[in-house]
Amino acid sequence: MDLPAGTRNYTYAQDMAIFRTKTHWTLLIGLLVVLCTAPLWWGNWLSVANLIGITIIAATGLNILTGYCGQLSIGHAGFIAVGAYTSAILTERFGLPFPVGLISAGVVAGLVGMFFGMPSLRVKGFYLAIATIAAQFIIVWVIKQWTDVTGGHMGMSVSAPALGGLVLKSDSSQFYLIGGIAVLSIFFAKNLARTRVGRAFVAIRDNDLAAEVMGISLFRYKLIAFFIGCFFAGIAGSLFAHWARFISDEFFPLTDSILYIGMIIIGGLGTTTGPIFGAIFIGLIKHSLTHYLVPTLESSAIALPAGFASGLAPMVFGLIIILFLILEPRGLAHRWQLFKAAYRLWPFSY
Amino acid sequence: MRKKTIRVLSGLMCLVLVATLLGACTSTTEEPEAKAPLKIGMSTPSTGVAAEKGAPMGHANLDCIKYVNEELGGIDGHKIEVLWLDNGYDASKSVTIIKRFVNEDCLLFTAASSGQMTAMMGIANENELSGFAAFSSPNLTQPPQHIYGQTPDYGDDWAAFAKYYMDNIWKGSGKPKMALHLLDNSTGAGAKMAAEAGAEELGIELVAIKEHSATTTSEIASLTTLLKEEIDVLYISSTPAPTAIVIKSAVELGMYPGITIGCGHAGFTKALVDLAGADIVDGVYGVYPTVGWEDDVPAMAKMTEYCQEYHPGDYGNMDYIISWAQSLIAVEILRLAVENAGADNLTPQVVEEQGLKKLKNFDVGGLHGPVTYVPGDNRLSKSVRVFQIQDGVLEPITGWVEAPFINYE
pLDDT in tens, chain B (409 residues): 455 655 654 555 455 445 444 444 444 444 556 788 999 999 998 877 777 788 889 999 999 999 999 999 999 999 999 999 988 888 888 999 999 999 999 999 999 988 889 999 999 999 999 999 998 888 888 889 999 999 988 898 999 999 999 999 998 888 999 999 999 888 898 899 899 988 998 899 999 999 998 889 999 999 999 888 889 999 999 989 999 999 999 999 999 999 999 999 888 988 899 999 999 999 999 998 888 888 889 999 999 999 999 888 889 888 999 999 999 999 999 999 999 999 899 999 999 999 999 999 999 999 998 999 999 889 998 888 899 999 998 888 988 888 777 776 6
pLDDT of amino acid A336? 87
- Closest residue of chain A to B211, computed from CA coordinates: A144
Query: Comparing A57 with B314, which gets the higher pLDDT?
Result: A57
Q: How far is CA B188 from CA B29, B52, B185, in A?
A: 60, 18, 6
| Domain residue ranges of chain A, discontinuous segments joined by + | 44-345
Residues of B in contact with A153 (CB under 8 A): 184-186, 188-189
The minimum CA-CA distance between B118 and chain A, rounded to whole Å, is 8
Under 8 Å between Cβ of B144 and B366: no
- CB-nearest to A246 from B87, B100, B121 is B121
What are the backbone angles phi and psi of residue B152, rounded to the nearest 5°? -55, 155
pLDDT of amino acid A341? 81
- CB-nearest to A314 from B47, B62, B118 is B47
Residues of A in contact with B84 (CB under 8 A): 295, 298-299
> Of the ranges A35-44, A218-227, B252-261, which one carries the lowest mean pLDDT score?
A35-44
Q: Is A258 on the interface with B (CB under 8 A)?
A: no
Residues counted in chain A? 350
**β-strands B38-44, A166-167: how paired?**
unpaired
Q: Is A144 on the interface with B (CB under 8 A)?
A: yes
Q: Taking the CA atoms of chain B, what radius of gyration do you get in angstroms?
A: 25
The C-alpha atoms of residue B129 and residue B115 are separated, in whole angstroms, by 18
B177, β-bridge pairs = B205
Virtual CA dihedral for A77, A82, A87, A92, nearest 10 degrees?
Answer: 110
Please report the domains of chain B, with CATH numbers, ordered by start residue: 38-152+296-378 (3.40.50.2300), 155-288 (3.40.50.2300)
Under 8 Å between Cβ of B91 and B63: no
Under 8 Å between Cβ of B383 and B401: yes
The C-alpha atoms of residue B137 and residue B118 are separated, in whole angstroms, by 9
Q: Is A169 on the interface with B (CB under 8 A)?
A: yes
Please return the burial class of A293, using the count of CB atoms within 10 Å of its CB with bins 0-12, 13-18 and 19+.
Answer: middle
Residues of A in contact with B93 (CB under 8 A): 286-287, 290
Residues of A in contact with B99 (CB under 8 A): 44, 47, 171
Q: Do B95 and A307 touch (CB under 8 A)?
A: no
pLDDT of amino acid B32? 57
State the greatest distance between any 2 C-alpha atoms of chain B, in Å, as a whole number.
Answer: 108
User: Does the N-terminal peptide bond of residue B240 adopt cis geometry, omega within 30 degrees of 0?
Assistant: no
pTM: 0.82
Residue type, B15: L
- CB-nearest to A246 from B96, B122, B188 is B122
Decide which of 1.10.3470, 1.10.10, 1.10.150, 1.20.120 is the CATH code for A44-345: 1.10.3470
Q: Do A287 and B51 touch (CB under 8 A)?
A: no
- The yes/no answer to whether this complex scores an ipTM above 0.90 is no
Residues of B in contact with A246 (CB under 8 A): 95, 118-119, 121-123
The C-alpha atoms of residue B158 and residue B153 are separated, in whole angstroms, by 9
Q: Do B119 and A152 touch (CB under 8 A)?
A: no
Under 8 Å between Cβ of B223 and B170: no
Q: What is the mean pLDDT of chain A?
A: 87
Residues of A in contact with B88 (CB under 8 A): 290, 313-314
